[in-house]
C-alpha cells in the first residue's frame, strides 16, 4: 500500500466529521483531528523518505482518466513541508479547536482535513486539470475556514475579499496554463515541459503565472487580502495558511519557471527579485506599525515570502547568465527559507492563538506581563520571535544566511555598473528588512509578554492545555534543531534543486559554501558550543565571586509609585520608525475632544492613528472608483425598459446583416 495515497484516504475519512451527528460533536472533533495528525504524519514520512532515498517508490504515480497524481523531488520537498507543519498544527488543534464547541466544530475539523488533502493534491498534481481542480478546492475550503466566525462583520468582509482576490489569481494561472497547454501535446505536465511557446506569448504566460502565484503568496501589490484574511481565520487555520498555503504558491511558480517557461530571459528574474525585495521591506514596515498580533504575523508572512521570492529571482537572474552551479545556492536559499518559515510562522500563529485563548484579545496594547502567567507559551514564542528576526541558533538565520550568500554570489558576477546598482539596492533592502524585522518582533514580544499587565484582561490569563503546548513545543524544537544542525536540511534542498550540478554546501559542522571563487562558512554548532562554555564560565565566576544576593525593590519614579500606564505602548515603540519612514507610511492622526473645559486641564480626548495601506489607497481605490463610475455610466443603456431592449436587438440585427453583406 502506498503510504502517501493512504494518507489522502485518511484525510478523506477525517473529512467525514462534517456529517457526524451533532450529539457526538467532541468525539467527532477528536476523531477528525486524529485522522489529520495520522495522515499528515504519513505524508511527512513518505515525503522525507522519498527525499532521502529517491529510488524507493513511496510516492504516487497514478492516473484516473484525465486526472493524474505524480511526484518528483520538487513536490517531495513541499509534501514534506506540508506533512511536518500539518502534523504539529493538527496536534495543537486537538485542544485549540475545542474553543469552537457548539460553533460548528464538526465543519471546522472536517474542512481542516479537506484543506490538508487539497494542499497535498495540488502538490502531487500531474497535469493542469488536476492542479486547477485541487487549487480551486484549496481556495474554496480556505475561504470557508476563514469565514468560520461568520457572525463577525469584519471576518465576512475579509473572507469575501480573499475569495475575490484568490479567484483573480486563479484566472491568471488558468491563462498561463491555457497558453502553455495549447502549445504542447497535452495538458499533462510531462508534455507541457516540451512546449513550443515563444516570443510575446511566452512573456504573457510568464507574467500571468507570476501574477497568479504572487497573489497567492501575498507579494505586494497583490497582498491586500492577506493581512485581513489570516487574522480573521481561527488560529490553527492561519498557521496552516501562512505556513503552508503560501509555500504552495512557491511550488507552483517553481514548477512553471523550472519546467515550462525557462529562465533564459534576464528580466524574468529581475522582476521577481525586485517585487520580492520591495514586498519584504514594505511588509515589515507595515507589520511594525500594527497592534493586532495576528496582523503583525500576517505582514511578516508577506515579508518572508518577499525574501524567498527575492532569492528565487536571484537564482533566475544567475540562470539567465548561464551560471547554473551558482544559481543552485539561490534556489537552495529560497527553499531552506521556505521550510524554516513554515516552521516558525506555524509556531508563531499557534502562540498567537494561545494568547488569544488566554486573554481573549488580539490587541497587544492590552497585554503585558504574559510571561508570568503562561511561561511555556512565552518560551516557545520567544523561540519563534527569535527565528523570525533571523537570530543565530534558529532556522531563521540559516535561510537568511544563504539568501545573503546568494546575493553576494550575484555581486561577484555583476560586471556592469547597472548590475552593481541592483545588488546594492538588494543589500540595502535586505539590511533594512532584517533590522526592521528584529524591531517588529522585539516589539511584539516585549509589549505582549514582558512588563506589567496593560489591562485587566491579562489577570485571568492561564497556561494552555497539553496538546497546544505539545504542538508548539514540536515546532519550537524543529526551529532550533534546524538552526543548530542545518546540514541535513540544506543538503536535501540542494540535491533537489541541483542534482549533478551541485557545489558542496553541507559540512561536518554547518554550511560551507565555496563557489564562484568566494568562500563562506557558518557553523552554528561550534558557536553554540562556545556560547554555552562561556555561559557556564560566567555563571561560575558570578556564583564564585559576587555575594550573589538579589534584592527586589520598586523602581525609582521621581517619588511616586510607577503605574502600568507609564510603560511604553506598542504604538509609541514604533513611533521613531513611523516618523522616519513617514513618506511611505503616511500616518493619519485623529484627535477628538470628548470634553474640553479649559485649554490646559479638564480635557478628555480620544486619539487614534490610522495607517492606510499604500497600495489600497493609490492602486485599488482608484480602480474601484473608476469601475463604479464606468458601470454607472453603462447603466443608462440598461434601464429595464422592454421597448429599449427590443430596439437594441433590432440594431444588433441590422449590424449583423450589414456585416454579412460586407
Partner 1 sequence: MGYILEGLALNIVQALVLLAFAPLLAGIISKVKARLQKRQGASVLQEYFDLRKWWRKPVILTPYTSSIFILAPIVYFMTSFLAAAMVPGFLAGQLTISDAFVFVYILALGRFFMSLSSMDAATAFGGMGGAREIYISVLVEPAVMLAILINSLRYHTTTLSGMVIDYDGAYFTVSAALACVAFFLVILAENCRLPVDNPDTHLELTMIHEGMTLEYSGPLLALIHLGSMLKMMVFLTLFGALYLPLSVPLAVKILCCAVLIGVVEILNNKMRLFKVRVYMGAAIVLLLLAIIAE
Positions 357 through 386 that interact with partner 1 (CB under 8 A): 368-369, 371-372, 382, 386
Closest approach, Cβ 373 to partner 1, in A, equals 11
Q: How far is the CB of 358 from partner 1 (least distance, A)?
A: 16
Those residues with Cβ within 8 angstroms of residue 294's Cβ, 6 or more apart along the chain or in another chain: 230, 231, 235, 238, 349, 352, 356, 362
Among 101, 530, 629, 644, binds partner 1 (CB under 8 A): 530
Nearer to partner 1, 246 or 403 (CB): 403
In whole angstroms, how close is the CB of 407 to partner 1 at the nearest point?
8
**Stretch near partner 1 under the rule CB under 8 A, chosen from 86-94, 201-209, 235-243, 515-523:** 515-523
Which position has the grid cell 520538487?
A: 74
Nearest in space to 121 (alpha carbons), one of 165, 82, 151, 88: 82
From 131-139, 289-297, 402-410, 642-650, give the range in contact with partner 1 by CB under 8 A.
402-410
- Whether the bond between 343 and the residue before it is cis, its omega within 30 degrees of 0, is no
Q: Which is nearer to partner 1, 432 or 481 (CB)?
A: 432
Residue placing its CB nearer to partner 1 in the complex, 3 or 527:
527
Q: Rounded to whole angstroms, how far apart are CA atoms 339 and 482?
A: 10
Beta bridge partners of 62: 69
- Cβ distance to partner 1 smaller for residue 194 or 579: 579
Give 13 or 411: the residue with its C-beta nearer to partner 1: 411
Least Å from the CB of residue 330 to partner 1: 15
* Residues in the chain, total: 662
CB of 217 to partner 1, least distance (A): 25
Chosen residue from 33, 93, 404, 490 binding partner 1 by CB under 8 A: 404
139 or 505: CB nearest partner 1: 505
Distance CA 648, CA 354 (A): 61
- Candidates 58-66, 73-81, 163-171, 401-409; binding stretch for partner 1 (CB under 8 A): 401-409
Place of cell 492577506: 226
CB of 324 to partner 1, least distance (A): 20
Question: From the CB of 485, what's the least distance to partner 1, in Å?
Answer: 16
Residues 6 or more apart whose CB falls under 8 angstroms from that of 289 comprise: 574, 577, 578, 585, 587, 611
Residue list 419-478, contact with partner 1 (CB under 8 A): 420-421, 423-424, 427-432, 434-436, 438-439, 442-443, 445-447, 450-452
Q: Are the C-beta atoms of residues 336 and 308 closer than 8 Å to each other?
A: no
Closest CA to 406 of 510, 328, 522: 328
The 3-class SS string of 603-622 reads: EEEEEEEECCCHHHHHHHHH
Nearer to partner 1, 566 or 625 (CB): 566
516 Ramachandran zone, left/alpha/beta (phi>0; psi -120 to 50): left
* 438, 574 Cβ separation under 8 angstroms: no
Instruction: Return the residue matching grid coordinates 492516473.
Output: 63
Stretch of 22-30, 331-339, 493-501, 522-530 lying at the interface with partner 1 (CB under 8 A): 522-530
If the CB atoms of residues 504 and 535 are measured against partner 1, the closer one turns out to be: 535
Residue in 259, 363, 455, 523 binding partner 1, rule: CB under 8 A: 523
Is 625 a residue that touches partner 1 (CB under 8 A)? no
Q: Kindly state the smallest distance separating residue 326's Cβ from partner 1, in Å.
A: 13
Site for partner 1 in 99-118 (CB under 8 A): none
Q: How far is the CB of 6 from partner 1 (least distance, A)?
A: 42
Residue 128 vs residues 124, 198, 255, 278: alpha-carbon distances, Å: 11, 19, 12, 31
Number of residues that bind partner 1 (CB under 8 A): 83
| 506-507 and 510-515 strand pairing | antiparallel
- Using CB under 8 A as the binding rule, the residues of this chain from 546 to 585 that contact partner 1 are 546-547, 549-555, 557, 562, 564, 566-568, 572-577, 579-580
Instruction: Please classify residue 172 by burial: count the beta carbons closer than 10 Å to its beta carbon, then call 0-12 exposed, 13-18 middle and 19+ buried.
Output: buried
Among 102, 517, 640, 660, interactor with partner 1 by CB under 8 A: 517
Strand duo 603-610 + 61-64: pairing: unpaired
Q: Which is nearer to partner 1, 95 or 400 (CB)?
A: 400
CB of 445 to partner 1, least distance (A): 6
| The 3-state secondary structure of 337-402, one letter per residue | HHHHHHHHHHHHHHHHHHHHHHHCCCEHHHCCCHHHHCHHHHHHHHHHHHHHCCCCCCHHHHHHHH
- Residue 381 or residue 495: which is nearer to partner 1 going by CB? 381
Map the footprint of partner 1 across residues 210-239, applying CB under 8 A: none
Candidates 204, 520, 611, 619; binder of partner 1 (CB under 8 A) is: 520
Q: Which of 322, 277, 284 is nearest to 423 (CA)?
A: 277
Amino acid at each position: 500500500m502506498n503510504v502517501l495515497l493512504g494518507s489522502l484516504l485518511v484525510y478523506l475519512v477525517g473529512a467525514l466529521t462534517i456529517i457526524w451527528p451533532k450529539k457526538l460533536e467532541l468525539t467527532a472533533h477528536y476523531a477528525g483531528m486524529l485522522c489529520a495528525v495520522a495522515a499528515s504524519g504519513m505524508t511527512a514520512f513518505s515525503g522525507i523518505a522519498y527525499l532521502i532515498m529517491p529510488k524507493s517508490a513511496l510516492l504516487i504515480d497514478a492516473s484516473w482518466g484525465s486526472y493524474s497524481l505524480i511526484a518528483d523531488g520538487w513536490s517531495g520537498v513541499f509534501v514534506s513541508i506540508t506533512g511536518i507543519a500539518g502534523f504539529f498544527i493538527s496536534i495543537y488543534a486537538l485542544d485549540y479547536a475545542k474553543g469552537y464547541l457548539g460553533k460548528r466544530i464538526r465543519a471546522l475539523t472536517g474542512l481542516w482535513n479537506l484543506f490538508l488533502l487539497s494542499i497535498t493534491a495540488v502538490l502531487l498534481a500531474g497535469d493542469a486539470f488536476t492542479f486547477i481542480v485541487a487549487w480551486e478546492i484549496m481556495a474554496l475550503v480556505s475561504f470557508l475556514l476563514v469565514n468560520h466566525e461568520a457572525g463577525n462583520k469584519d471576518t465576512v468582509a475579509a473572507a469575501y475579499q480573499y475569495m475575490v482576490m484568490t479567484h483573480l489569481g486563479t484566472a491568471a494561472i488558468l491563462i498561463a496554463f491555457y497558453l502553455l497547454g495549447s502549445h504542447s501535446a497535452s495538458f499533462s505536465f510531462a508534455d507541457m515541459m516540451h512546449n513550443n511557446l515563444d516570443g510575446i506569448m511566452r512573456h504573457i504566460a510568464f507574467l500571468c503565472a507570476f501574477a497568479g502565484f504572487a497573489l497567492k503568496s501575498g507579494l505586494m501589490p497583490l497582498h491586500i487580502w492577506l493581512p485581513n484574511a489570516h487574522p480573521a481565520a481561527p488560529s490553527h487555520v492561519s498557521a496552516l495558511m501562512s505556513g503552508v498555503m503560501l509555500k504552495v504558491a512557491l511550488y507552483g511558480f517553481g514548477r512553471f519557471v523550472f519546467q515550462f517557461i525557462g529562465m533564459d530571459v534576464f528580466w524574468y528574474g529581475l522582476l521577481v527579485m525586485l517585487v520580492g525585495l520591495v514586498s519584504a521591506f514594505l511588509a515589515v514596515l507595515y507589520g511594525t506599525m500594527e497592534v493586532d498580533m495576528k496582523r503583525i504575523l500576517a505582514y511578516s508572512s508577506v515579508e518572508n515570502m518577499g525574501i524567498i521570492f527575492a532569492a528565487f529571482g536571484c537564482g533566475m537572474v544567475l540562470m539567465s547568465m548561464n551560471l547554473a552551479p551558482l544559481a543552485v545556492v539561490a534556489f537552495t536559499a529560497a527553499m531552506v527559507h521556505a521550510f524554516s518559515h513554515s516552521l516558525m510562522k506555524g509556531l508563531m500563529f499557534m502562540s498567537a492563538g494561545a494568547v488569544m485563548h488566554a486573554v481573549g484579545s488580539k490587541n497587544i496594547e492590552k497585554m503585558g506581563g504574559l510571561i508570568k502567567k503562561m511561561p511555556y507559551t512565552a518560551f516557545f514564542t520567544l523561540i519563534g520571535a527569535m527565528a523570525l528576526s533571523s537570530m543565530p541558533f534558529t532556522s531563521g538565520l540559516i535561510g537568511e544566511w544563504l539568501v545573503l550568500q546568494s546575493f553576494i554570489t550575484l555581486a561577484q558576477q555583476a560586471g556592469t555598473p547597472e548590475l552593481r546598482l541592483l545588488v546594492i539596492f538588494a543589500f540595502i533592502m535586505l539590511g533594512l528588512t532584517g533590522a526592521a524585522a528584529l524591531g517588529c518582533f522585539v516589539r511584539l514580544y516585549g509589549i505582549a509578554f514582558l512588563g506589567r499587565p496593560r489591562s485587566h484582561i491579562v489577570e485571568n490569563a492561564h497556561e494552555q492545555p497539553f496538546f497546544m503546548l505539545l504542538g508548539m513545543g514540536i515546532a519550537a524544537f524543529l526551529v532550533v534543531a534546524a538552526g543548530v544542525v542545518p546540514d541535513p536540511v540544506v543538503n536535501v534542498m540542494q540535491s533537489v534543486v541541483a542534482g549533478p550540478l551541485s557545489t558542496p554546501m553541507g559540512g561536518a559542522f554547518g554550511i560551507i559554501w565555496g563557489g564562484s571563487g568566494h568562500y563562506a562558512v557558518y557553523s552554528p554548532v561550534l558557536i553554540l558550543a562556545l556560547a554555552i562554555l562561556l555561559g557556564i564560565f560566567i555563571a561560575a565566576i558570578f556564583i564564585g565571586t559576587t555575594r550573589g544576593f538579589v534584592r527586589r525593590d520598586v523602581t525609582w519614579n521621581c517619588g511616586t509609585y510607577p503605574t502600568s500606564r507609564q510603560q511604553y505602548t506598542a504604538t509609541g515603540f514604533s513611533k521613531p520608525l513611523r516618523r522616519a519612514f513617514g513618506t511611505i507610511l503616511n500616518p493619519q492622526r485623529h484627535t477628538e475632544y470628548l470634553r474640553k473645559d479649559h485649554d490646559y486641564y479638564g480635557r478628555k480626548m480620544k486619539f487614534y492613528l490610522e495607517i492606510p495601506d499604500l497600495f489600497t489607497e493609490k492602486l485599488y481605490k482608484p480602480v474601484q472608483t473608476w469601475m463604479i463610475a464606468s458601470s454607472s455610466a453603462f447603466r443608462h443603456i440598461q434601464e429595464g425598459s422592454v421597448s429599449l431592449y427590443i430596439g437594441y436587438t433590432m440594431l444588433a440585427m441590422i449590424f449583423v446583416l450589414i456585416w454579412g453583406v460586407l
